[in-house]
Structure 1
Amino acid sequence: MAIEIRPVTRDEATEYLRVLPYVNGFPQEEPEASAWYAGSAAWPPQVPRTAADLERYAEEMQADWFRPQAAFVDGKIAGGSAIVSVQLTVPGGQQVALGGVTSTAVLPTYRRRGLLRKIMAAMLDDCRERGEFLAGLSASEGTIYGRYGFSPATFQHRWEVRRTDVAFRTEFTDPGGLELVDGAVAAELWPVLHEQVRAVRVGEISPLPGKWDGLAGGGLPADGSGPAHHLVHRDAGGAVDGAAIFRLPWSPDPERAGVLQVEAFEALTSDAYRALWELLLDFDLTKQVVAARRPVDEALRWMLTNPRALKLTRTRDNLWLCILDVRRALEVRTYAATDSLVLDVHGSGRWRLDAAPDGATCKAVDEDADVSLTVNELGSLYLGGVRASELASAGRVAEHAPGALSRLDALLRPDRAPHNAVGF
């Protein structure tokens, strides 16, 4: 058996695509309910793509931001994956290059031969060669990617609330206004709004080209969830400072009827946030609201007279990170305190981190470590969404100097939990 790992040529693009679950109709998510989806199913159904779809996808693969790798076994493509070039906002607001792993699969008849490990090694080497010192992915299965150095760094909640249970603690007069717009208008507004959001949100990701193009087309989705409706908030000066996409799917089951599904929601101001949720939670002829892809520190709960009205129904890890260059990764972000710690990152050496709110320096040292961990744990800690003391309680981080874990937690603590509403 001859194995070769290399990029895919244009002539091989269709063969590469047939390996991928979203093309061949094989499962692409573990059969568990996902916080990414506001519907009642675990995930919308997969339908094999047509020859015309394959040809269109093959053309799109030629973009310079999409870098596919394939495993050839005796000359035939048996597995594949790709890196997409995106930007990640890190603490301090810097937007850094992230190699995003996507479109990953090995054909069932070629499993357990180490093909994915070889593909992943080639892709991470490609990231390093291009100067991308962070790699990221959203895991289809929770047991696969830890072996390659990835670990969860952001998380998402799915919650639901009955309309009759909603009451806000305080009165509110909106200085701006709400507007329902069509898909074409929404497709123009969302890219601008997202750019403003990701400039200030740790963990947010730049969208892939064409991310919102489909909004303009309208039409009914194949999963039966109903057409998208677009709600926009404008401030007193008329500028858009918030938006939501929601659906009102029909159901023959009275238990599932009258559910408003919030598919996307962004707000730049507290006024926009409150105004959008007030309408969505009191929409005529509905009885329940379900929202997915929500940050773990959702403020809405604390606006309600009964915080239990907002029921958390799913939690899901979202962005997994792999630190490819410890020094560069630790130096590019800022910190919540001023301190100096020596970190022993197994396999990468010992590093003295001299950190402060305005930046940091990191250098290799031969000194006693204050804390030891692997690159996996560093990936989870990097954006501040996971505490070192939490991982230490699980036996995954070791403290060698008294108080070092608390000091590391204080350094990494963000103002808000990291969150990415956009994936790849």
Structure 2
Amino acid sequence: MSARSVQIRTVPESEIQRALRLAHLVFHESPESDQRRHQQELLSRCLRIGAYDGDELVGFAAALPFSLSVPGGGELPCPGLTFVSVAPTHRRRGVLSSLIGELYARCAEQGAPLVALWASEASIYGRFGFGPATYGTTVEIDSRRALALRVAPDPRPLRLVDPGAAPAALAPFFEATRARRAGRQARTEAWWREEWLVEKDEEDDELSPPRVVALGDPVAGYAIYRTKPGDDDAHTPGLVRVDDLEAESAEVAATLWSYLTAIDLTGRVRAWGRPLDDPLLLFAADRDQVRVTASFPSLWVRLVDVRAAFAARTWAAPVDVVLAVHDERLPANAGSYRLIASPDGFSYAATEDAPDLSLEARDLASAYMGATPVRALVRAGLAAEHTPGAASMLDAALHTELLPHTVDAF
């Protein structure tokens, strides 16, 4: 059966369970009833696109209604692509391409210049124009001894926050972090409660309910964490898993990390998804005690409308370059464009002038947030610099004080 016989249309709310059954089949999952209910509630609040072969749902994609911070403190609507599923009977027939093509069309209609996702298989989404826009690291700390630091911790007292009160207590400070770091989606109260503060962790039922510790009033930093008892037989010390930690200064961060590494009956701290420029990695006095055990792409972004995305961000330095953009999926983005931008203005217009740089839309997406320097793309053979110095000029304009970062997986 060809892709032309498959019809793409909105999945009605009455068929959400049907869509979930397809997703669970594709991802080999059998979630418990609480998680199923959560997934149904999540899908009831988002765009749902289905591929139908007759009456059979053979493909599905959902887009969560996110708003994403972009460099300079700007904000853009950015649907979060998730639950992407194609029935095993209909793979390699263009179903996925049709679903994503429909999503791009809907984004254009609704004025959303960006789409984002967390890739279950990184090899898939590059060909649809997505590029890694943020990166994360996993940090592990041996907390069987006191954490050695090169900075003095903030002396203000810490307090434990009841998880029920945490969204109201933490949200204003988290919103401030979004203005400083690109790549962060706004958190609604429901997102706080259902994604960050749910009592039972769906991946490890031995973990405690969430604990929240904060410093300052108003909040100047916080950590959300869970604990897990050790195993004497396996000689495994107790674990502190840090899910989210934000601090307004290195001193506040030092206080939070000191607290987390001093929790009784634990000997390990593991923090997944920390930013590449986490100051902990500099102010830790013993890097044998604080180790990076993994580094990975986190949020992937697709520039649906390059010009609108460029217009929404700020520019750190003047730039005047002609970009030859290759975009097979969205021809409106493709072509040669002169980018003229500075801290005071911006223009992006088609031109017949010879290009200074040539690159693909997926790589432009990675550079847009500041995660990947254009010079690195040139060195990797993924972009061509036709005019010496053009990549450095564009990098200076795209520069952000802090690297883009998020831990809000979806």
Calculate the TM-score normalised by the size of structure 1.
0.87
3-state DSSP class of the match of 1:83? strand
- Aligned twin of 1:228: 209
Q: Using the alignment, how far apart are the partners of 2:32 and 2:104 within structure 1?
A: 29
Q: Using the alignment, how far apart are the partners of 2:94 and 2:188 within structure 1?
A: 30
Aligned-residue offset at 1:377: 0.8
Structure 1 unaligned residues grouped into runs of 5+: 28-45
- Aligned twin of 1:167: 148
- Aligned twin of 2:27: 26
Instruction: Give the alignment partner of residue 199 of structure 1, picking from 153, 172, 179.
Output: 179
Q: Percent identity?
A: 33
Q: Is the 8 A contact 1:165 1:309 kept in 2?
A: no
Aligned-residue offset at 1:78: 0.9
3-state DSSP class of the match of 1:109? helix
- Aligned twin of 2:11: 8
Q: Is the 8 A contact 2:237 2:265 kept in 1?
A: no
Q: Using the alignment, how far apart are the partners of 1:78 and 1:165 within structure 2?
A: 54
Q: Is the 8 A contact 2:153 2:253 kept in 1?
A: no
Instruction: Give the alignment partner of residue 93 of structure 2, picking from 105, 108, 113.
Output: 113
Give the RMSD, CA atoms, in angstroms.
2.2
3-state DSSP class of the match of 2:190? coil
Structure 2 unaligned residues grouped into runs of 5+: 328-333
Instruction: Give the alignment partner of residue 61 of structure 1, picking from 43, 54, 60.
Output: 43
Q: 1:170 to 1:10 in 2, by over 3 A?
A: closer
Aligned-residue offset at 1:129: 0.7
Q: Aligned partner of 1:166: which letter?
A: L
Q: Aligned partner of 1:125: which letter?
A: A
Q: 1:75 to 1:208 in 2, by over 3 A?
A: farther
Q: Is the 8 A contact 2:198 2:209 kept in 1?
A: no
Q: Is the 8 A contact 1:25 1:49 kept in 2?
A: no
Q: Is the 8 A contact 1:221 1:227 kept in 2?
A: no
Q: Does 1:351 align with 2:330?
A: no
- Aligned twin of 1:408: 394
3-state DSSP class of the match of 1:328? helix
- Aligned twin of 1:31: none
Q: Aligned partner of 2:22: which letter?
A: V
Aligned-residue offset at 1:4: 0.6
Q: 1:25 to 1:69 in 2, by over 3 A?
A: closer
Instruction: Give the alignment partner of residue 246 of structure 2, picking from 262, 266, 284.
Output: 266
Q: What is the number of residues matched between the two proteins?
A: 398
Q: Is the 8 A contact 1:180 1:231 kept in 2?
A: yes
Instruction: Give the alignment partner of residue 149 of structure 1, picking from 119, 129, 144.
Output: 129
Q: Using the alignment, how far apart are the partners of 1:360 and 1:351 within structure 2?
A: 13
- Aligned twin of 1:387: 373
Q: Is the 8 A contact 1:206 1:422 kept in 2?
A: no
Q: Using the alignment, how far apart are the partners of 1:217 and 1:154 within structure 2?
A: 25
- Aligned twin of 2:351: 365
Calculate the TM-score normalised by the size of structure 2.
0.90
Q: Using the alignment, how far apart are the partners of 1:3 and 1:266 within structure 2?
A: 46
Aligned-residue offset at 1:188: 3.1
Aligned-residue offset at 1:216: 6.2
3-state DSSP class of the match of 2:362? helix
Q: Using the alignment, how far apart are the partners of 1:16 and 1:149 within structure 2?
A: 25
Q: Using the alignment, how far apart are the partners of 1:190 and 1:47 within structure 2?
A: 33
Choose 412-421 or 249-258, whichever is displaced more.
249-258
